[in-house]
Amino acid sequence: MTAEAKLPVVATALKSFDDGFRAIGAMPLVAGIALACLMAMSVVSFFAVMSVLPPVGSPRFSAALLSLPVKTIIAVLGIVQSFLIAPAAIAVHRWVLLRQVTHGYPINPSNERYLRFVGFTALVGLLWNVPSVVDAVVALAFDNDETANRVMVLIDMAAYIVILIVVLRRVVLFPAVAVDAPHADWRSARLTVAGHSWRVFFTFLCVTVPLVLLVVPLHYLNLWASMMSWTGQIIFWLGSSIVQLIFLYVFAATASLIYRALDPALGQPAGPVPTMPR
């Protein structure tokens, strides 16, 4: 990180949308395969979760949604999704930072870049799932639902604040790994963001608020799908997958732009200053 590095919050947020959607247009095959992967994972998640739930309408149905088996299934499938979606995220990072167009959809477990990216993605995903798993354990520990809910709210608030701080301070790790920057590790990412945490937070906040508007229609689409046949459910899966894809591309573009603003050399050592001939 250079001492003069500044992160323009609003400008970065606006450019994130521009670059995110331009990346889709530049690499339609990558976006199409990523969308198919997201939809497939939505279908698998639905049937996997439903297989351990009581019948819909059962008085135990709502409580079962918070159970440990359901949370475990979601966490495991989240790791699987990390493997499937990593090529798209890497492609976005490399397009934003290097203007490199990725051809095909390289899922390559033998590639170090791919494995490191998936590993860090899975780790962050597991961190976000920790409060949910703790909630499931708390629900089992208390006989009184009201007491359990109060404890879960307190735990969730504290946990998500800590996790948010940890993740935001390492967000540049993903583009750094994607462009094969040297010393792209947990500590170096924290040092790159050091002193800019609030700007990173407000940048993502500016990006997230418009994206949340996409989530609201999904709630009503889900209600409609639940009253329809399988056709309605398929439409919901497609709609939610499209929203997930937009989130993926815009967030990846945001992380890339933040990384470029805070580390213009993209992790490479500064070259020697040319000297004038005498």
The residue among 199 and 217 whose pLDDT is bigger is: 199
Residue 15: other Cβ atoms inside 10 A: 17
What pLDDT was estimated at residue 274? 45
| pLDDT the model gives residue 228 | 61
Q: Say if residue 272's pLDDT is above 70.
A: no
Report the range of poorest mean pLDDT among 96-100, 117-121, 147-151. 147-151
What are residue 266's phi and psi, to 5 degrees? 55, 45
Rounded percentage of the chain residues whose pLDDT exceeds 70: 84
**What pLDDT is stored for residue 159 in this prediction?**
86
- Under the banding of pLDDT at 50, 70 and 90, the label for residue 72 is confident
2's CB contacts (< 8 A; 6+ apart) are: 263, 264
Q: State residue 56's pLDDT score.
A: 67
The pLDDT value given to residue 130:
82
Residues 108-115, mean pLDDT to the nearest whole number: 90
Average pLDDT over residues 26-52: 93
The label of the residue with tokens 């990523």 reads: 34
Name the average pLDDT for the chain.
85
Among 60, 64, 41, which Cα is nearest to 244's? 41
Q: Tell me, what's the pLDDT at 94?
A: 97
Q: For residue 224, what pLDDT band results from cuts at 50, 70 and 90?
A: low
pLDDT interval class at 242 (50, 70, 90): very high
Q: Give tens-digit pLDDT for 152-189.
A: 788 888 888 999 999 999 999 999 999 999 888 888 89
pLDDT at position 276 is: 44
Sequence spans of domains, the chain: 9-262
More confident residue, 57 or 172: 172
Two structure tokens written together for 236: 């919901």
Confidence at residue 1, expressed as pLDDT on a 0 to 100 scale: 45
Q: What is the pLDDT of residue 17?
A: 96
Section 92-97 average pLDDT: 97
Q: Is 157 buried (19+), middle (13-18) or exposed (0-12) by CB count in 10 A? A: exposed
